[in-house]
């Protein structure tokens, strides 16, 4: 059995190429539209699990003062470089979302692209919700999404993806365990280092939560759920949703 490196420490180098088809412009517009839908005008916005900062940069360009945390230093380093190249200011620091602490509360908090699914127990999810609530101003808004069981079963369970690029290749194997509601992924990267390709394995585990579970935990953490939309729409989520976008407001 090979030793695993921490999730996203090597994925970071391939992330933006592998996510080339993700429409981050649409995603940033969706966040902007959700704020508008609720007639909310945040200034300071924290993106937890901001990754390589793609959404943060776009939101900063729309005028939001953007802050970001991520567990993986390597992802943050790329976000920093990208922001500098685009002449955008991002305030980034490395932190586990379960340990989120802030010196000044934010008007809004985001957690996007299935990042919440990295919480593998209800206890961890509730901790994140409590931390987010504590890091928000009264009536502050929390926007996050979750991937659904349907998405995992249809697009990932027992599927292997592989691709060869100039500087890296990868093999991405997925298995969903319905009884635990866990999707287990092994990502093997071959990264070009000098004249050689070096092999690294990452092990990722993501958990599926139901809408009712999320709603109850939000409530216990001091939030009121405003909507659970089929992602990128203003339609209520349903059995055909692959991703659900939750918008909640901190109770006063």
Ligand X SMILES: C[S@@+](CC[C@H](N)C(=O)[O-])C[C@H]1O[C@@H](n2cnc3c(N)ncnc32)[C@H](O)[C@@H]1O
- Residue 13 found at the interface with ligand X (CB under 6 A): no
Contact 89, 60 (CB under 8 A): yes
Q: How far is the CB of 39 from ligand X (least distance, A)?
A: 25
Q: Which is nearer to ligand X, 57 or 249 (CB)?
A: 57
Q: Which is nearer to ligand X, 185 or 238 (CB)?
A: 185
Interface positions, 200-239, toward ligand X (CB under 6 A) = none
3-state helix/strand/coil string of 98-109: HHCCCCCCEEEE
* Single residue of 66, 112, 187, 237 touching ligand X by CB under 6 A: 112
CA distances from 108 to 24, 68, 97 (A): 19, 12, 15
Q: Which is nearer to ligand X, 125 or 224 (CB)?
A: 125
* Single residue of 14, 34, 55, 214 touching ligand X by CB under 6 A: 55
- Residue 51 found at the interface with ligand X (CB under 6 A): yes
Q: Which is nearer to ligand X, 71 or 208 (CB)?
A: 71
- Residue 96 found at the interface with ligand X (CB under 6 A): yes
The whole-angstrom separation of Cα 73 and Cα 81 is 12
User: What are the backbone dihedrals phi and psi of residue 241, each rounded to the nearest 5 degrees, phi first?
Assistant: -75, 135
The whole-angstrom separation of Cα 130 and Cα 41 is 23
* Single residue of 14, 28, 46, 50 touching ligand X by CB under 6 A: 50
The whole-angstrom separation of Cα 62 and Cα 209 is 32
- Residue 135 found at the interface with ligand X (CB under 6 A): no
| H-run or E-run covering 211 | helix 211-220
Positions that interact with ligand X (CB under 6 A): 8, 49-51, 54-55, 70-72, 75, 96-98, 112-115, 118
């Amino acid at each position: 059995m090979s030793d695993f490196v921490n999730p996203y420490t090597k994925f970071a180098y391939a992330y933006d190429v592998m996510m080339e088809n993700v429409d981050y412009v649409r995603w940033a517009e969706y966040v902007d539209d959700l704020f508008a839908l609720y007639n909310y005008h945040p200034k300071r916005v924290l993106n937890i699990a901001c990754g390589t900062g793609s959404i943060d940069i776009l939101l900063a360009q729309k005028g939001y003062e953007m802050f970001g945390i991520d567990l993986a230093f390597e992802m943050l380093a790329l976000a920093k470089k990208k922001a500098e190249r685009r002449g955008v200011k991002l305030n980034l620091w490395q932190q586990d979302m379960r340990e989120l602490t802030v010196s000044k509360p934010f008007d809004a908090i985001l957690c996007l692209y299935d990042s919440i699914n990295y919480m593998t127990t209800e206890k961890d999810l509730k901790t994140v919700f409590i931390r987010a609530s504590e890091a928000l101003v009264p009536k502050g808004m929390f926007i996050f999404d979750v991937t659904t069981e349907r998405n995992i079963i249809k697009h990932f369970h027992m599927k292997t993806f592989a691709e060869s690029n100039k500087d890296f290749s990868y093999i991405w194997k997925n298995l969903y365990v319905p009884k635990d509601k866990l999707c287990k992924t092994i990502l093997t990267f071959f990264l070009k280092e000098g004249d050689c390709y070096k092999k690294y394995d990452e092990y990722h585990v993501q958990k599926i939560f139901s809408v009712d579970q999320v709603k109850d935990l939000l409530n216990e953490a001091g939030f009121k759920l405003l909507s659970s939309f089929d992602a990128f729409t203003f339609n209520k989520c349903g059995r055909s949703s692959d991703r659900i976008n939750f918008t909640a407001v901190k109770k006063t």
